[in-house]
Amino acid sequence: MISQFFVLNPRGNCLLIKNYKNDLKKPNETAEILFHKIKFSQSKECPPIFDYGVPQETQTKNLLKFVPQNISRNKTPTIVKKGLLKQKKLVSKEAHDLPITSFRQIKKASKSPIFIDITEEIVFQFDSQGSTERSELSGKIDIKSFTGISSELTVVFNELVIGNHKKKIISENPIYLEDINFYQKCNISRFDQDSIITFTPESGILNILNYRMSGQYIMSPFRIFTNIGSITSKNISLTIKVQSNYPMNKLAKDVKISFPVPKEVCSAQFEKLNPKNEIIKFKKNKNKINWRIKKFIGDEQLILSLNLILLSNSNNQKRLKSQIGPALMKFSLPNYSSSGLQIQNLKFNSKQDSNKRTLYVKYQTYSGSFIKRF
C-alpha cells in the first residue's frame, strides 16, 4: 500500500506531493532523503517507473495490490451546533460503496433535465437614412444533457425552407434559410417535407444544427435613428433615437451604444435621463460617447439629445460631421429569435424517457455587429 507519492525534478525539488496513510514521521523530508540516496548511491542504476515518458512495470495486475479497496469513513458528529452544519447535506455512508454512476442516479430527481439552447448572432448595418445595407444571421442549436439517454428524441420545427428548395408551402409564414448542416447522427429523412429531425441525445453538450440566413427575412430587434442638428464654431447638437421592435413581455439587459466624436470636443451636455436605468459618459481620452441602458423593454422608444462643446473654434463643418459616428450597439436579448425559427414540439420515442426527462427550450439573440451611420 502506498504511503506517499511525490514528483521530483532533476534538481531534487519536489513538484508534487500527496500523503495517503499519514504514517510517516517526517513526511516533508522523505523526498529529499530519497533524492540523496539515489544521487550519491554507489549503484547508479535505479529501476524507474517512467523512463523518457514510457511507463515501466505499470501493468494493472502489478499495481492493483497497492490500491486500497476499503475506504475509511469518518464518523458523523453526534453534537452539532445550530446553524453550523446541516445533517441533510451529509452523504450517507452507503454512498461510498456505490459506483459513481449509480450514486448520481440516486441523487438526481426523477425528472432529469435536458436543455435545448437556440442561439442566434445577428449582423446589421444601416446607412445615415436608416436603410439596411447589410443583414446576416448565424444560428445554432445545442443540446445539454447530464445523463445518457437510450431513446430517440423527435424535434418538430415550424416550416423551414432551405435555399432554393422547391416544396409546397403549407404555413403562412415559412422561415427561409440559406443553408443548414446537421449533427452526423441526426435522422433527417422527414426534414425536407415536414421539418422534423430525430436523434439520440448523448451525455454532455451536443451541437445538432447550424444555420445561416440573410436579407429581408431577418427581424431586427432594434432600429436606430440619428440626426445631426446644428454645427457651429462652438458646439454640435445631435439626437439618437432607439426603438425596440420586440413584444413588451421581453426584456433586453445591459444594452450599450457608443460612437466617436471629433477630437475638438471637450465636454458633452445632455438632457436629464433616467438615472436608475440609463448611464451616459463622455471619454475625452478616446473621443467617444458611451450610452448604457440597463433594461430595455419591448415596444419602447428612448431618445438621447446631446450638445457637444468644442474646445476651439472650428468652421470646417464638413470635417466635423464626418468625424461623428458610426454608432455601435451591443445587446443580448433572451427569449427572442430574429430568424423566426421555433421548436413546435419535442417528444421522446420511449414513454419511460418521456416520464423521466424534463425538456427546457431557451432562445437567445445577441449582436455580432450592429452599426448605424450618422
Which pLDDT does position 172 carry in this prediction?
A: 83
234 in a structural domain: yes
- Number of domains present in the structure of the chain: 3
Q: For position 206, which CATH number holds?
A: 2.60.40.1170
288 lies in the same domain as 352: no
Same domain, 15 and 162: no
R_g of the chain computed on alpha carbons: 32
Give SS3 for 135: strand
Question: Would 84 be classed as within a structural domain?
Answer: no
Task: Please check whether residue 297 lies inside any domain of the structure.
Answer: yes
Give Dmax over CA atoms of the chain in angstroms: 93
Q: According to the model, what pLDDT value does residue 36 have? A: 66
Q: What is the pLDDT of residue 219?
A: 95
Tell me how far apart the alpha carbons of residues 96 and 73 are, in angstroms, rounded to a whole number.
9
Tell me whether residue 240 is in a domain: yes
Q: What is the DSSP letter of 353?
A: H
Which residues 6+ apart lie within 8 Å of 86 measured at CB? none
- DSSP H or E stretch at residue 210: strand 204-214
**Mind listing the pLDDT tens digit of every residue in the chain (374 residues)?**
677 887 877 767 777 787 777 777 666 777 777 766 666 555 545 555 545 444 555 555 555 555 555 444 444 444 444 444 444 443 343 333 333 333 344 344 446 788 999 999 999 999 999 999 999 999 999 998 877 677 889 999 999 998 876 677 878 889 999 999 999 989 999 998 899 999 988 888 899 999 999 999 999 999 999 999 988 888 999 999 999 999 999 999 999 999 999 999 999 998 867 888 999 999 999 999 999 999 999 999 999 999 999 987 777 888 899 999 999 999 999 999 999 999 999 888 877 666 677 889 999 999 999 999 99
Domain co-membership, 328 together with 347: no
373 in any annotated domain: no
pLDDT (0 to 100) of residue 168: 74
Residue 105 has a pLDDT of: 42
153 and 199 share one domain: yes
Question: CA distances (Å), 305 to each of 278, 331, 370, in order?
Answer: 13, 21, 21
Indicate whether 273 and 315 sit together in one domain. Answer: yes
* 251: nearest Cα among 167, 332, 342, 371: 332
DSSP codes, 254-285: EEEEEEE--TTEEEEEE----TTTEEEEEETT
- The predicted pLDDT at position 75 comes to 44
The count of residues in the chain is 374
Write down the pLDDT at residue 245: 96
Q: Are residues 213 and 227 in the same domain?
A: no
Tell me whether residue 24 is in a domain.
yes
**How does DSSP assign 8-52, residue by residue?**
E-TT--EEEEEESS---SSTTTHHHHHHHHHHS-S------SEET
Rounded Cα distance between 217 and 119, Å, is 17
On whether both 230 and 192 belong to a single domain, the answer is: no
Cis before 326 (ω within 30): yes
Domain residues for 184? 114-122+133-217+342-364
